[in-house]
Amino acid sequence: MTTVLKSVTIVDPKGAHHNQCVDIHLEEGLIQAVGENLALPQDAQVIELPNAFVSPGWFDTSVVLGEPGYEAAETIANGLHTAASSGFTEIMVQPHTLPVADNAAVIHLLHQKALGQATAIHPIGALTMGSAGQALAELYDMQQAGAIAFGDYKKSMKNANLFKIALQYVQDFKGRVLAYSEDENLRGNGVVNEGSTATRLGLKGIPGLAEELQVARNLFLLEYTGGAIHIPTLSTAKSVALVREAKARGLNVTCSVAVAHLVLTDAVLESFDTRYKLSPPLRTAQDREALWEGLRDNTIDCITTDHHPVAIEGKKVEFDLALDGSIGLESAWGALAAVLPMDLIIEKLTAGRAIFGLPPAVIAPGAAVNLTLFTTAETGTFTADQIRSTSKNAALLGQPTRGKVLGIAREKHLIIN
C-alpha cells in the first residue's frame, strides 16, 4: 500500500531533514520520497495528523515480556502490541522467562512468536545457565540464533573470574555483555534507597555503594580484558561519574537509565505503594540531577523503559515482600517529555541500535520504513485507562505528561493510535 504522511515535522538531529515540515511517501516498506508538497499518488492513503512530529523509530534496550512461563504477567503478542502503541518499533527482550532464555531453542521460539508483529524483537540471551551465575550459557549458539547481547536480568555476576572469562569469550564474535551492577551482599535485605526517607519510613535501605562498587569492579575487569559492556539502569551520581571517567580512558562501555529514575525520586515512597519498589531503587533528587547531566554530556548513552510486568500477586502484598518492577512502555514518552527536551529524548530513545550493532533508522529516500509519530503540546497525567499491558504495576501512574504517541510505521506495518 502507498501511504503519505502529510505535513509532519522531522525530529532527527543526525539526519538531513531535522526540524523540516515535510511529506513522507511510504511504499512497499521503503521511504520513496521526503519533501514539501509531494505529488500524491492516486491510490495513496494520506495520513494527516495535527501538529505531528516524526522521528526514527524508538528502540528500547530492556523489556520483559514474560512469555514463555510468565504469561499471567504478559504475553509476547500483547507486549508487542503495547510497545507499538507506545511508539517503539524495536525492543530488546530480557531472558526473564521460564525456562530462562539461555539456549538457541528459546531464542528461536521468541523470534517465531514475534513474526508478523509491527514491533520487532531482539532477544537478549542469558549470560549464565539458568541465570544462576554458575556457568556460562551457550553464548555463541545463541548469537547465531539471533541473540543481540548477553546478560542475566537484574542479577550481578558474583564471580569476577567468570565475568572476566565472559568478556574475553564474546570478543571472538563481537558480542556485548550486559553488566547489571549491584553487590548483593551490600544490598542485603534492603528494599529502598538508603537515606533519610528509608529511615523515616522504617524500611531497610540499599546503599548507592552497592551499585557503585559493582560498577567499579566491572569497569576494572573491562579494562583488563578489553571487549565491550553495557551497564543497564544506572541510578546514582557516583555511578555516572565512574562511567564518565571510564569513557575518558577509552573503555568501550555504554550505559542506560530507566525512565522512572529520570522522573521519580525516593520521596514518592511516603505512600508505601509497591508500584514504586524497583531495582535499582528510586534514589534522591541529587542523583536524578546527575542522571539528567549524564544524558546531556553523553555519559549515559540511552534511555530505557525497563518495562517489567509483574502479576498482581507480586505487588498486592506488604512492601518488603513485593516483587521489584514496573511497566513503563505506555508512560515513557509523556513522562519524559514533561521533564527533558524533545531532541535529547529522541536521541536517547534511538541510540540503542548503534550500541548493539544494528543499522540506523534513517529518514531518507530508499531507507527502510522505521518511524515513530508523536506530538509534544498536550499536557495531562498518566492514567490507568492508558495502560495496555496485562499487568498494571505502573510506577508513573498520576505523573504529569506532555504530548502523546500517535503511532509507528515499520516496514509494511502502520499502526495509528
Catalytic machinery residues: 306
Residue type, 202: G
Amino acid at position 207, single letter: P
For residue 265, what are the contacts with CB-CB under 8 A and spacing of at least 6? Answer: 282, 283, 284, 285, 287, 288
Place of cell 559493582: 214
Q: Give the span between the Cα atoms of 405 and 256, in whole angstroms.
A: 22
- Answer whether 52's CB lies under 8 Å from 406's CB: yes
Neighbour tally for 20: CB within 10 Å: 16
